[in-house]
Amino acid sequence: MDQISYNDFARIDIRVGRVVSADEFPQARKPAYRLKIDFGPELGLKHSSAQITKYYDPKDLVGRLVLAVVNFPPRQIANFFSEVLTLGVILGDGDICLVHPDRDVPLGSPIR
């Protein structure tokens, strides 16, 4: 595994957001949802494509806090632009379990 410096890590802007909508994304190559996430007044609403279909139903995602990298350039996935990378743990079978705060925190809070 390559080592990075703390300064490298500090350049990654990870923030807390709340999922406000989650929809099926049939155009994606791998099963995924289209998420709309509120990062508070500073960053506002952002879109994300997330391959989290094994453990989550769209209706259960709405209102959930998530962590996301917000300073990557947008990435086009099929006909959708994913603006943030929603973070999760990659399990042995390739499925993803979301990473999230264990209590309610202000939207847009940075992670360090």
The CATH T-level fold of domain 7-98 is: OB fold (Dihydrolipoamide Acetyltransferase, E2P) (2.40.50)
What is residue 93's predicted lDDT score, i.e. its pLDDT? Answer: 82
* Structure tokens given for 108: 């847009």
Side-chain half-sphere exposure of 74, counting CA atoms within 13 A: 10
* Structure tokens given for 95: 């499925």
What is residue 46's predicted lDDT score, i.e. its pLDDT? Answer: 98
What is residue 112's predicted lDDT score, i.e. its pLDDT? Answer: 87
| Whole-structure pTM value | 0.94
What is residue 1's predicted lDDT score, i.e. its pLDDT? Answer: 86
Residue 49: name the closest of 15, 92, 85 by CA: 85
**Digitized pLDDT (tens) for each residue of the chain, 112 residues in all:** 899 999 999 999 999 999 999 999 999 999 999 999 999 999 999 999 999 999 999 999 999 999 999 999 999 999 999 999 999 999 988 789 999 999 999 999 999 8
Helices (H) and strands (E) in the chain, counts: 3, 9
List the Cα angle 17/41/73 in 5-degree steps.
Answer: 60
Side-chain half-sphere exposure of 16, counting CA atoms within 13 A: 16
